[in-house]
Structure 1
Amino acid sequence: MILAQALDATYWSFLGRGVGAILLYAVIGTLMMLIGFWAIDLTTPGKLPAMVRAGLPNAVLITAAGMVSMAFIIVTAVYGSVGSLLQGVVSSLVFGLVGIIAQVAAVRLLEWVTGIDIGEVIQAEEPRAAARVVAAAHLALGLIVAVAVF
């Protein structure tokens, strides 16, 4: 009771807004991660979720690197948001989505330039060196796009 009396109404309002913002950004971040996964799946030959569930090592490695790179982009989009909560949410969504598109396009371009047959690599049952190149490209380009977003 003494603690509640020591903290005035502005504190409780601040606390409520902060908790609300955390929950809102968590939902937005989760949605953007799902969109990022969908973008990787859409641009990758075959059914990526099935290949990951089957434990195909190259599919798992490339998907994991892609998801981490999406997280870089989303984190910087949220961190760099400014203004009111609504402005921050809108800018996070826009910058995050544009960043995801740019990152996926850049990785696919790199695969094309290097001549990597991503469909063959990702469906192989044994680890392939090319999968490490694609995973590294996801991480590197994710960092580059994340910095551009920020």
Structure 2
Amino acid sequence: MTTTLALEAGYWSSLGRGVGAILCYAVLGLALMLLGFYAVDITTPGSLRQMVAEGRPNAVLVSASGMVSMAFIVVLAIYSQSGKLSEGLIAALTFGLVGIVAQVISVRIVEWVIGIDIGALLRDPNYTSAAAMVAAAHVSLGLVVAVAIL
């Protein structure tokens, strides 16, 4: 008795397109998250990258929350395009760039309104509750921008 595995016509082509889409979105998502990190780094006093490398807990928390925020935006931009790769990539890029700008400006406004000295906060070798406030601002804004995409 022989068992034959039958695949639908076009299966391998469809699988290849799916793998290609995953790779394209992964590269775009990584680029946007890195760009978002550098946007936050450039707009904060001192080198955020260096503070993260040194293990400063507030810098790590704020950076991580910025990355999560950007991931929300990219994921919803991808989801909203219903499988259309070129439109999805353009939307993810556009919404990601707008999200970066909105995130940086809004977080700086929150810091100013609350009276947080972000430079001192990020350099502090000890965790402070103000870092949680800044991290929450990053994540909250990321969710707002992400849902606005839908």
Calculate the TM-score normalised by the size of structure 2: 0.91
The answer to whether the 8 Å contact 1:73/1:142 transfers is yes
| Percentage of matched positions with identical amino acids | 59
Query: Which runs of no fewer than 5 residues in structure 1 stay unpaired?
Result: none
Equivalent residue runs for 1:1-150 within 5 Å: 2-3=4-5, 6-82=6-82, 84-150=84-150
Q: Quote the offset at 1:58 in angstroms.
A: 0.9
Contact 1:77 1:92 (8 Å CA) reproduced: yes
CA contact (8 A) 1:99 1:145 kept: yes
CA contact (8 A) 2:77 2:88 kept: no
Deviation at 1:121, TM superposition (A): 0.8
Return the letter of the residue paired with 2:15: L
Aligned-residue CA RMSD in angstroms? Answer: 1.6
**Is the alpha carbon distance of 1:46 and 1:21 closer, same or farther for their aligned partners in structure 2, counting shifts above 3 Å?**
same
CA contact (8 A) 1:56 1:123 kept: yes
Unaligned segments of structure 2, at least 5 residues: none
1:96 to partner: Cα distance: 1.5
* Structure 1 stretches of at least 4 aligned residues deviating more than 6 Å after TM superposition: none
Which amino acid is 2:76 matched to? T
SS state at 2:10 partner: helix
Q: Deviations over 1:34-59 (max 9, x none)?
A: 11111111111110111011111111
- Deviation at residue 129 of structure 1 after TM alignment: 1.8
CA drift of 1:61 comes to: 1.1
1:84-115 per-residue CA deviation (whole Å, 9 max, x = no partner) reads 32122111111121112112211111111111
Q: How many pairs align?
A: 148
Cα offsets for 1:53-82 (capped at 9, x unmatched): 111111111111111111111111111124
For normalisation by structure 1, the TM-score amounts to: 0.91
3-state SS of paired residue (2:103): helix
Change (3 A) 1:139 1:83: closer
SS at match of 1:9: coil
Q: Give the whole-Å Cα distance in 2 for the aligned partners of 1:85 and 1:93.
A: 12
